[in-house]
Amino acid sequence: MAIFKNFNRKAKIENETGLSTNSALSGGRYFDKDGKANISIKGMHFLERLNVYHALLSMNRWKFLLVIFLFFILVNLFFASIYLFIGIDHLNGLNATTNSEKFGEAFFFSAQTFTTVGYGRINPVGFWASFTASVEALIGLMSFALATGLLYGRFSKPKAYLRYSKNALFTPFRDSVALMFRFVPFTRNYLVNVEVKLTAAMRILEDGVLKTKFFNVPLDISKASTLVANWTLVHMINEDSPLYNLTKDDLANAQVEILVFVQGFDESFSNTVISRTSYTYEDFIYGAKFVPMFNPNNDNTTTVLHLDKLDEYAEAELPINFKQLYSQNFIG
């Protein structure tokens, strides 16, 4: 791939991104589509940088439930083994003859003790069996307190329920060209005082060194007092744009990535929420326009928002200068 050398110096450079400016030391995009930083951490022991609480709060819900289930099973297997080691005769009330039945009875007695249910049919006899049951009951109380806190933390954690369009479109707009993408809230967690900031990351060759330059990407409208439906963000590609006069090949050679940062106040959480995503040059579609995703209902009393149309676009009518700048390969 050719190295991009020329860029518009009139565009405002953004130096406060907190991201690396040395392209030779970074690989791939800066943020994944889901907003997570595309970075792999090494050089420190796993246990030193492990934050169990944060990991359990942020992991996928099915993974979280699986961790809780496996923890419950492993703890009871551990204590069932201890009861068998102490002696099955120290558990009064067992109705088991085979070894597998004895282990099953010890396991379910452990589960009843861990959850403090205690049906009463089986009870510990002797100091060590009673001591083990007491320790297990204490661990069970603390474990359920932690699990309850984690469930509440996951349930109440402020989150921006926003979904972004898959692609960003280069489309004719106001006798010029604009870069557009859109997003929409997909729950009834409506946002107020919403602000969007865009930054363009471009890899260029400067003084023989491959560097990343960050540019402010001004929006036609960057703030909204409320967000209840889809919002199409428009960046006019004019002399103030870092993308001004760049062809499709230039965008690819510069490995352009548009970093998107959205911030707003969620009325449901009564807290500020933040969302991120990014569009690389591979996500750009040339010569297209978004298909409207809302319309009035049959009796014209409310607006119907079609979330499944978020990514839909159609071919736009193109002027000659647009074709010259972005070649003949428009859609896709």
- What residue ranges do the domains of the chain occupy? 23-40+159-326, 47-156
Cβ proximity of 15 and 211 under 8 Å:
no
Long-range contact pairs involving 18-24 (C-beta distance under 8 Å, separation at least 24)? 19/201, 19/212, 19/214, 20/212, 21/211, 21/212, 21/213, 21/214, 22/210, 22/211, 22/212, 23/203, 23/210, 23/211, 23/212, 24/209, 24/210
What is the pLDDT at residue 50?
72
* C-alpha span between 212 and 50 (Å, rounded): 31
* C-alpha span between 3 and 207 (Å, rounded): 13
Q: How far is CA 223 from CA 162, 192, 285, in A?
A: 16, 10, 25
Phi, psi of 40 (to 5 degrees): -110, 125
What is the pLDDT at residue 264?
93
Strands (E), 132-190: 162-164, 168-173, 176-185
Q: Confirm or reject CATH 1.10.287.70 for domain 47-156, answering yes or no.
A: yes
Residues 6+ apart with CB under 8 A from 116: 137, 140, 141
For tokens 């809230």, the residue is: 185
Phi, psi of 251 (to 5 degrees): -65, -40
What is the pLDDT at residue 30?
78
Angle formed by the axes of helices 61-86 and 99-114, to 10°? 120
pLDDT means per 10 residues in the chain (332 residues)?
A: 53 69 70 78 71 83 92 94 88 80 89 85 87 92 91 84 93 88 88 93 82 90 91 92 87 91 88 92 91 89 91 84 62 46
What kind of fold does domain 23-40+159-326 have according to CATH? Answer: Immunoglobulin-like (2.60.40)
